[in-house]
């Protein structure tokens, strides 16, 4: 038992706590409530908390505000929003346990999903917002990696293509395929959308994607103090690119791919579930699609 606990700890630390994978296929049509209202309410509450924290003994200090936001929006081991998404009693969720998921045949060829899955269920919950179903892990990417993108591009002035290539590298490495066996383009799409959220937080940074209606700034400096001046609505950031049943994952090996394809065949499904919607995503992301989108089907990275 001590050995299993040690393995769990080491793996969680080495993957940066982004270890969860999600099964958006199994029980796809089972009833699932819309989480939009409760998640928006929590997001606005936590932004207000962050504003109040940043205003203590400071006069519109941008670094202090960003730090206060990051503390509350990061991942479910370290923040408040993701923990609420995973554990809040009023958040509708669907749990697909690993032993009934499309990843149930993974073994030692996937350290996190297969090996760690023997002692801890590593699958994420599925939630629904509007017409979109996606894993709870996407919020960790949206806020956590989204801020990393924002810092690289807006604060450190790195070209957007360099930032997106960096994201691809992390998803191919320890934050993705190296540890889980799965390279999730859904994660990459959530990362990119998260950068835009931080653009909108203070009204800084260029938007490379269109939003309807226009978004932000959510927080402005009023008489020397930060103030939330606009309600945050998370739904416009969400689309089918966050859904691994639409934005198809790649796998580290042919063996892992074959295991998933066999489980999908048993369900009578394949990726993308709706090719027409997937093509619309390609148009939406335009020149950035190769960095965040795979609508050609599951394959090997």
* 10-residue averages of pLDDT along the chain (301 residues): 43 46 94 98 98 91 95 78 93 92 76 48 86 95 96 97 94 66 92 98 95 91 95 97 97 93 97 95 96 96 86
Q: Which residue has the tokens 């049509």?
A: 29
Closest by alpha carbon to 158, among 86, 123, 206, 223? 206
Q: How much is the pLDDT for 21?
A: 83
* Surface-to-core class of residue 239, CB atoms within 10 Å of its CB (0-12 exposed, 13-18 middle, 19+ buried): buried
Structural tokens at position 114: 């297969």
Eight-state DSSP code of residue 126: E
* β-strand partners of 250: 183, 299
CB 178 within 8 A of CB 252: yes
Q: Number of H helices and number of E strands within the chain?
A: 12, 7
For 187-209, give the DSSP string: HHHHHHHHHHHHHHHHT-S--SS
As a whole number of angstroms, the distance between CA 166 and CA 177 comes to 14
Angle between helices 36-54 and 62-72 (to 10 degrees): 140
CB 131 within 8 A of CB 173: no
Q: How much is the pLDDT for 8?
A: 42
Beta strands in the chain (DSSP E): 126-129, 132-135, 182-183, 219-222, 225-228, 250-251, 299-300
Closest by alpha carbon to 17, among 110, 107, 135, 137? 137
Q: How much is the pLDDT for 177?
A: 59
Answer whether 0.85 is exceeded by the pTM.
Answer: yes
Q: How much is the pLDDT for 106?
A: 82
């Amino acid at each position: 038992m001590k050995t299993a606990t040690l393995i769990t700890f080491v793996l969680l630390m080495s993957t940066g706590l982004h270890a969860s994978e999600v099964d958006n296929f199994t029980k796809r049509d089972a009833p699932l409530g819309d989480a939009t209202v409760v998640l928006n309410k929590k997001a606005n509450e936590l932004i207000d908390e962050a504003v109040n924290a940043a205003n203590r003994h400071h006069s519109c200090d941008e670094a202090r505000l960003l730090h206060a936001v990051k503390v509350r929006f990061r991942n479910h081991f370290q923040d408040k929003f993701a923990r609420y998404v995973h554990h809040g009693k009023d958040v509708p969720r669907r749990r697909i346990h690993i032993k009934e998921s499309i990843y149930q045949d993974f073994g030692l060829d996937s350290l996190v999903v297969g090996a760690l899955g023997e002692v801890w269920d590593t699958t994420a919950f599925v939630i629904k917002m509007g017409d979109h179903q996606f894993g709870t892990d996407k919020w960790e990417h949206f806020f956590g990696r989204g801020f990393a993108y924002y810092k690289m591009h807006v604060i450190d002035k790195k070209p957007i293509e360099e930032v997106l290539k960096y994201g691809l590298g992390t998803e191919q490495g320890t934050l993705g395929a190296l540890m889980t066996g799965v390279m999730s383009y859904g994660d990459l799409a959530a990362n990119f959308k998260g950068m835009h959220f931080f653009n909108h937080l203070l009204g800084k940074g260029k938007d490379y994607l269109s939003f309807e209606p226009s978004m932000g700034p959510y927080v402005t400096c009023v008489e020397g103090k930060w103030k939330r001046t606009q309600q945050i609505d998370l739904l416009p950031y969400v689309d089918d690119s966050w859904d691994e049943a639409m934005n198809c994952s790649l796998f580290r090996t042919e063996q892992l791919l074959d295991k998933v394809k066999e489980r999908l065949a048993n369900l009578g499904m394949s990726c993308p579930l709706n090719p027409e919607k997937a093509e619309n995503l390609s148009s939406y992301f335009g020149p950035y699609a190769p960095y965040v989108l795979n609508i050609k089907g599951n394959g090997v990275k």
